[in-house]
Structure 1
């Protein structure tokens, strides 16, 4: 059994390859039980969570030699921000789907960053305008850098503006992209940045709307990645009402995403207003963007399918190196 660290993941993957792997994975037959949530009370800081996310290749008909299964063990600790540590930490255990033999233990934090950003980019490939050039990144945590990398890999982004509650954090993130073909700058004017954007990506821990629907120009794609519980929100009812809505998985988003759960509970929209999920888009059973003026919205809460596909890709790349 191999141990695969974060640096190895970065070395063997590309953004385009990860998006392609997820595109194929969402079209495959996979089993993804509902993930286990366990809340952990933490004295003097926000509640933490322990997540268990299993998945395996669908072997109902036959077991192929490349069948895999695995489980991600994740801790979500918001208080880690004050410690200078990532909020999401964990490990992924990949096993043979034939024998059950452990193949690898993979850095779960880095795997999560790669697969989450790639899922958003995959959705944007179906939902964002093909000529999208201006991006806004709301939030400057660990995931923000990966979202910028993934979105700029699949759309001709020329300008990225980063907003964070701490302008200094936004400036630090922008500085990481100083030598790139596209420009990345920090801003303290979120409304002005969103009004001018073609693509808005959010990755925050907010419990209250950060991006207002009234700010969205026709043709904008809104990529909501934070707010992973029913009590959290990154955008308001106006945005939800104006947008054509898609999710990574219906079961996950309709149970966990506050941006959808709250307006559904209040009767402002219904579950039927969710047009489709990533499997629908990848299999071609629902259409993506309907026109240049349409506002589209993708809500991600994460799915074990993404982790299994990402872990399988990393394992294959590492194994090929010998």
Structure 2
């Protein structure tokens, strides 16, 4: 695992953002398979095509464009399915100006799949040519979701956390927890990672697996102990009820609330919301699917002033970021179509350039 210094990370991300904005600004792909053929890009191939630094740059582009109006998108549409809370069929669709392909991500969500050894989110991102409407690619959605979620957390953490933040607490020990260690380590010089999960034995196994490259990873048997004294806290669970209490947070902590992507799930309690200044990825989504925010707002329990705005607006300079060293900041992540479209476009174009993927006839 490569943990770069803060200044170096800033330079890398700044340079990468410039490169990828130029790359993605073409109105047509550099080359594409001819005829009515679809390029299938599987998960392992997609993962190989995007580095951590590239993922962070792409996430920043998508979040900026979400907030400046150049991304045209709608909220996530879901069909609830029988079974555990949060089980659903989900669709997100969007288009980003000056990027070659628009599209939609369709996937199933099965929160208990971690226990089955399967991804909780499975499906595909389907891309279409802007001019003709021809479908050109189907990209594995688990790979896209797996890389763009921690990348967006990294962008928010770089923007909102203290620059000296170095202790990371993870509530959850699944795939997203592991990806968050690597991705957040690219923008903050992590000295220790604290991890908690419902099964302490699994939390210890996770800690042992990720204790490499000089990084200290420690399992805790209570969430409170894991959070106590942490600078950055990430909730990466599929919890129906809160696993993070606001009373545990130290002044100056930054929180990435990541796992609850539909209103039926909730990882953070009311005290966490009340103690925090809140940024979201996409306001229409937050006001319909972040029940930990919109429910207390609608009932008048919290004031609208706590919700500062979209993280992309903070990146673009139209709203503020962190106010001071003691402020508790919260990034409420839901995932937005623009992220999936930007990532899938990049993966598709790179696959075409390298001759990767499998073509099928429609």
TM-score clears 0.5: yes
1:231-284 per-position Cα deviation (integer Å, ceiling 9, x unaligned)? 432122222111111111111112111221232233221344210112212211
Shift of 1:142: 2.2
Answer whether contact 1:57 1:97 (CA < 8 A) is retained. Answer: no
Shift of 1:41: 1.4
Q: What's the counterpart of residue 2 of structure 1?
A: 39
Q: What's the counterpart of residue 325 of structure 2?
A: 292
Shift of 1:199: 0.2
Cα distance in 1 for partners of 2:205, 2:315 equals 35
Cα distance in 1 for partners of 2:212, 2:115 equals 29
Cα distance in 1 for partners of 2:250, 2:294 equals 24
Answer whether contact 2:296 2:302 (CA < 8 A) is retained. Answer: yes
Q: What's the counterpart of residue 91 of structure 2?
A: 52
Q: What's the counterpart of residue 140 of structure 2?
A: 107
Query: 5 Å matches for 1:28-67?
Result: 28=65, 29-42=70-83, 45-46=84-85, 48-58=87-97, 64=98, 66-67=99-100
Matched, 1:19 2:65: no
Matched, 1:135 2:168: yes
Answer whether contact 1:198 1:221 (CA < 8 A) is retained. Answer: yes
1:30-80 per-position Cα deviation (integer Å, ceiling 9, x unaligned)? 1112222111113xx54620011111123xxxxx5x521011011011242
Structure 1, unmatched stretches of 5+, are 59-63
Matched, 1:209 2:250: no
Moved more, 172-181 or 208-217: 172-181
Aligned structure 1 segments of 4 or more residues deviating by more than 3 angstroms? none
Q: What's the counterpart of residue 110 of structure 2?
A: 77
Query: 5 Å matches for 1:274-289?
Result: 274-289=307-322
Shift of 1:194: 1.0
Structure 2, unmatched stretches of 5+, are 1-37, 356-362
Q: CA RMSD in A?
A: 1.7
Corresponding residue pairs, total: 314
Q: What's the counterpart of residue 3 of structure 2?
A: none
TM-score of the pair, normalised by structure 2: 0.82
Answer whether contact 2:86 2:265 (CA < 8 A) is retained. Answer: no
1:162 alignment partner, one of 195, 199, 206: 195
2:156 alignment partner, one of 107, 113, 123: 123
Answer whether contact 2:153 2:256 (CA < 8 A) is retained. Answer: yes
Matched, 1:192 2:225: yes
Distance 1:47 1:236, change over 3 A: closer
1:146-192 per-position Cα deviation (integer Å, ceiling 9, x unaligned)? 12221111111111011000112222322332322322222113212
Query: 5 Å matches for 1:176-255?
Result: 176-255=209-288
Q: Please state whether the residue corresponding to 2:45 is helix, strand or coil.
A: helix
TM-score of the pair, normalised by structure 1: 0.92
